[in-house]
Amino acid sequence: MYFCAMIKKLISIVLIVLTIGLGACSNFQKLLKSTDNELKYESAMDYYEKKDYNRALELFDMLNIFYQGTTKGEEISYRMAYSYYYLKDYTIASFYFKRHAQTYPNSARAEECMFMNAYCYYLDSPVPSLDQSNTLLAIKELQAFTDMFPLSNRIAESNELIDKLREKLLVKDFNIALLYYKMRDYQAAITTFENILKKYPDTDRSEEIFYTMSIAYYEYAEKSIAEKQKERYQASVEAYNNLKFQFPESQYLKQLDNIYHKAVKKLSEIS
């Protein structure tokens, strides 16, 4: 008896919710067909404040051209960008943030929107193993922001984001170099490691890079023709010396000790 009563109560609640939902949908459809732009504007703002960004966007999209160039148009443009941002559609959000800054360059929000444009690219940057086109775009947009607003209080944050993005690019290059090394494609591995050191001279991975390069050069020399062996054994010794000079307490020095002495011996034999 009690169970049946509970079921009836639940059914009643569901019916009420459905009725309210259908009524709300019906009212929204009427609003879309309405020619009262002021009502649409107020409703769009209300939907936005209630975080119903999809409905807000439907109305903003209808009103955007009508109010363009006005104070309300600026507000619509700004909130459209943030609606897409809150919906996590960062590609479209970045477009609208940048368009807002370009359409209203004298707006107090222009700086904020240019930063958010770049920040959306940052959020769209994938993990290092994937294509890094968006990472490069994010760096480009963040650098453009710092150039455009050099006195902004967001400069420090922008530089921090750029550093994080550059680290992601470094990780991708580093993993590629390691892959070449494991595949025993020593020339490709060495070239990639050397490029990393040129592009990221302050990287905290240089210790591991010198260590791996010393081994790679030695093994490369071992597989090389006689005319090429001397320069590659020398390069192995040089990588070891760079490691020792920059990281005198490195744990890798002991691991490289045997390689180093064998390379020195080979050089004395060649000479």
Question: What pLDDT, in 10s, does the model give residues 185-221?
Answer: 999 999 999 999 999 999 999 999 999 999 999 999 9
What token pair was written down for 133?
């086109």
- Residue type for 131, please? D
Task: For Cα atoms 105, 124, 107, give the angle at the middle one, nearest 5 degrees.
Answer: 10
Q: For the chain, count helices (H), then strands (E).
A: 12, 0
What token pair was written down for 137?
């775009």
Q: What is the DSSP letter of 254?
A: H
DSSP letters spanning 62-115: HHTTTTTTSHHHHHHHHHHHHHHHHTT-HHHHHHHHHHHHHHSTTSTTHHHHHH
pLDDT recorded at residue 266: 93
Phi, psi of 176 (to 5 degrees): -65, -45
pLDDT recorded at residue 26: 74
Query: What confidence tens digit (pLDDT) does each residue in 219-246 have?
Result: 999 999 999 999 999 999 999 999 999 9
- Residue among 82, 94, 201, 108 nearest 142 (CA): 94
3-state SS assignment for residue 205: coil
**The whole model's pTM is what?**
0.81
pLDDT recorded at residue 6: 52
Note whether 250 and 207 are within 8 A (CB): yes
Residues of the chain with pLDDT under 50: 2, 5, 10, 12-23
Q: Which domains does the chain have, with CATH numbers?
A: 184-271 (1.20.58)
- Residue among 102, 77, 81 nearest 90 (CA): 81
3-state SS assignment for residue 157: helix
Q: Is 242 exposed, middle or buried (0-12, 13-18, 19+ CB in 10 A)?
A: middle
pLDDT recorded at residue 25: 67
pLDDT recorded at residue 1: 54
CA within 13 Å, CB half, 212? 26
- Other beta carbons within 10 angstroms of residue 66's beta carbon come to 13
Q: Which residues contact 244 (CB under 8 A, 6 or more apart)?
A: 250, 253
pLDDT recorded at residue 70: 92
Rounded-to-integer distance, Cα 123 and Cα 95, Å: 14
